[in-house]
Amino acid sequence: MVVGTGSHVGKSVLVTGLCRVFRRRGIAVAPFKAQNMALNSGITPAGGEIGRAQISQAEAAGLEPHVDMNPVLLKPTSDLGSQVIVQGKVLGNYKGVDYYRQKPRLLPKVMQSFRRLQAAHQLIVLEGAGSCAELNLKRHDLVNMSMARRAGAKVILVADIDAGGVFGQVLGSLSLLTPSERRLVAGVVVNKFRGDAALFDEGIRIIERRGHKPVLGLLPFFRLGLPQEDGVALERGAPAGGGGALRVGVARLSRISNFTDVDCLAAEPAVDLRWVERPEQLAGLDLLILPGTKNTLAALAGLKQSGLFAAIQNYHALGGHLLGLCGGYQLLGRAIADPLGVEGPPASEQGLGLLPVHTVMAGEKTTTRVTAAALPGLPFAAPGHLRGYEIHMGQTSAQGTSRPAFQLQARLDQPVDLADGQVSPEGRVVGTYLHGILDNDTLRAGLLAWAGGGQAISTLGDYAAFKDRQYDLLADLLEEHLRLDGLLEPLA
Q: What is the pLDDT of residue 359?
A: 98
* Same domain, yes or no: 456 and 477: no
| One domain for residues 244 and 374 | yes
- Positive or negative, the Cα torsion across 78, 84, 89, 91? negative
Domain identity same for 62 and 180? yes
Kindly state whether residues 110 and 159 are assigned to the same domain: yes
What pLDDT was estimated at residue 230? 56
Q: Indicate the burial class of 184 (C-beta count within 10 angstroms; 0-12, 13-18, 19 or more).
A: buried
Q: Based on the fold, state whether residues 180 and 280 are members of the same structural domain.
A: no
Q: Is the pLDDT confidence value at 236 over 50? A: no
Mean pLDDT of 441-465: 93
Q: Residues 459, 465, 467, 470: is their CA dihedral positive or negative?
A: negative
- Whether 326 is catalytic is yes
Q: Does 131 share its domain with 273?
A: no
The answer to the question of residue 61 being in a domain is: yes
Note the pLDDT of residue 234.
53
The domain spanning residue 456 has which CATH number? 3.40.50.880
Which is catalytic among the residues 19, 132, 264, 326?
A: 326
Q: How confident is the model at residue 487 (pLDDT cuts 50, 70, 90)?
A: confident
Would you say residue 10 has pLDDT above 80? yes
- In angstroms, the CA 389 to CA 377 distance is 21
Give the domain range for residue 17: 2-226+469-481
102/352: higher pLDDT:
352
Report the Cα 301 to chain-centroid distance in Å: 23
Summarised one tens digit per residue, pLDDT across range 87-143 is 999 999 998 888 988 888 999 999 999 999 999 999 999 999 999 999 999 988 999
pLDDT of residue 455: 82
d(CA 474, CA 14) in angstroms, rounded, equals: 9
- CATH number of the domain where residue 173 is located: 3.40.50.300
Q: Is 385 a catalytic residue?
A: no
60 shares a domain with 168: yes
**pLDDT score, position 480:** 97
pLDDT of the residue at 343: 87
Q: What is the pTM of this model?
A: 0.94
Quote the mean pLDDT of the chain: 94
User: Residue 168: its pLDDT value, please?
Assistant: 98
Domain count, the chain: 2
Would you state the pLDDT for residue 444?
Answer: 97
| 262-290 pLDDT tens trace | 999 999 999 999 999 999 999 999 999 99
Of the residues 8, 66, 435, 481, which is catalytic?
435
Beta strands in 138-184 (DSSP E): 155-160
Whether residue 232 lies inside any domain: the answer is no
Residue 377 has pLDDT above 60, yes or no: yes
The distance from CA 237 to its chain's CA centroid, rounded to whole angstroms, is: 16
